[in-house]
Amino acid sequence: MSTRPSSADWSTDFDHLDPRWAENPYPIWDELRQKCPIAHTERFQGAYFPSRYEDVRAIAYDTEHFSSRRPVVREVRPPLIPAPPITSDPPDHRPAKQILLPAFTPEAIARHEPCTREICRELLGRIGDSKRCDGAVEYSQEIPVRVIAHMLGVPEQDGNLFRKWIKEVLEIGITDFAVLMRAQGEMIGYFAEKIAARRARPEDDLICYLVNVRVEDRPLTDDHINGTLRLLLIAGIDTTWSAIGSCLWHLAQHADDRRRLTAEQDLMNSAIEEFLRAYAPVTMAREVVKETQIAGCTFKTGHMVLLSFPAANRDPAMFPDADRVILDRVQNRHATFGLGIHRCVGSNLARMEIRVALTEWLARFPEFRLDPDAPTTWSMGTVHGPRELPLLLGA
């Protein structure tokens, strides 16, 4: 990736894999909103980048011209690899999503809260009285992987394998087609085995639920079940891991917010919404399947759209003082979980995990800061969050 030609003009040659974009995209997006709200690049075989909330919203709502069948902007267009419902368009989308929704309502998710709390406490117990730790590696990355493993019914000891696949599918696989296809193949094989095992011996988990569920009296195909399981695994892990990490990264640098959040427990929910807005982890993609115009810009068939909910969330036309984190922001219609029919199916799960993770962390470590001698490192590409977050613990 180091050999990529550097972008000279973000408006006509944007590159979200450019290290400058990965590290601090906010000034770039501000400039684009002023100069060229819908940028384009010939990279990635042609892609658009809308930076304003209203345009991101318009595209997310327009399923006629913009397909979800390729949910990631990649260097090449791989064969379609369905993972319903995220890759589904109407009319297939609705039934594929309806199947999952009952398992992810706030009420259903509340049943996983005690287990999440236990995981957080165990991880904090392991950090113990250390004076330093890596908030990403030792804490945030471990929480969602264990919770989703528990929900799906796969061993949480396979966490390293899951994280390897995620890096291969969402990071390395953006530019390396062979790595992407190999990871997809490994995941398909992994879940094919689990599906067969559930057919032989039922368990009380999501895999078994998907094996048994009927849509209009018909069971799902194995391809459908496998795709949905791969989606839940990938989407359930590094998104929330990134979100929790970004919260800790912010709090490590803002003593005022940290102390306020510790003192005012009532603030937690609006603070989480604000962290979600300011540090939205997920950027999705659409493929233009029918030429159209948005905000006077022609979207040509066959090009991709980098659909950046993080950029929408920093649009000052929608969020006054968009670059400031305001824990008690009153109006916050952030797009972090998407807008329109593809609203993240796991949004209630993510919110629960973030809330429990932060509450438990602050109860154990009310004081912490970034380690000045060790840098924070960030993921690249589809999901944005700290991958190494060295912290000094205690006052």
Residues that bind another protein (CB under 8 A): 98, 101-102, 104-107, 269, 273, 318, 320, 330-335, 337, 339-341, 343, 347-348
Give the nearest distance from C-beta 208 to another protein in angstroms.
19
Strand pairing partners for 146? none
Q: How far is the CB of 259 from another protein (least distance, A)?
A: 25
Question: 106 or 202: whose CB is closer to another protein?
Answer: 106
> Residue 201, CB half-sphere, CA atoms under 13 Å: how many?
4
Residue 57 dihedral angles phi and psi, to the nearest 5°: -65, -45
Q: Return the number of the residue (80 or 317) whose C-beta is nearest another protein.
A: 317
Nearer to another protein, 57 or 65 (CB): 57
Cβ 347 to another protein shortest distance, Å: 6
Cα separation, 88 vs 100, in Å, equals: 14
Smallest gap from residue 159 Cβ to another protein (A): 27
* Least separation in angstroms between CB 332 and another protein: 6
- Burial grade of 288 (CB within 10 A; 0-12, 13-18, 19 or more): buried
- Between 202 and 320, name the residue whose CB sits nearer to another protein: 320
Residue (312 or 392) nearer to another protein, CB: 312
Question: CB of 101: closest distance to another protein in angstroms?
Answer: 4
The nearest distance, CB 321 to another protein, in angstroms, is: 12
Tell the smallest beta-carbon distance from residue 333 to another protein (Å): 5
| HEC string for the chain | CCCCCCCCCHHHHCCCCCHHHHHCCHHHHHHHHHHCCEEEECHHHCEEEECCHHHHHHHHHCCCCEECCCCCCCCCCCCCCCCCCCCCCCCCHHHHHHHHHHHHCHHHHHCCHHHHHHHHHHHHHHHCCCCEEEHHHHHHCHHHHHHHHHHHCCCHHHHHHHHHHHHHHHHHHHHCHHHHHHHHHHHHHHHHHHHHHHHHCCCCCHHHHHHHCEECCEECCHHHHHHHHHHHHHHHHHHHHHHHHHHHHHHHHCHHHHHHHHHCHHHHHHHHHHHHHHCCCEEEEEEECCCEEECCEEECCCCEEEEEHHHHHCCCCCCCCCCCCCCCCCCCCCCCCCCHHHCCCCHHHHHHHHHHHHHHHHHHCCCEEECCCCCCEECCCCECCEEECEEEECC
Based on CB atoms, which residue is closest to another protein, 78 or 95?
95
Closest CB to another protein among residues 111, 343 = 343
Specify the residue, 280 or 380, whose C-beta has the smaller distance to another protein: 280
Q: How far is the CB of 330 from another protein (least distance, A)?
A: 6
**Residue nearer to another protein on the CB measure, 277 or 387:** 277
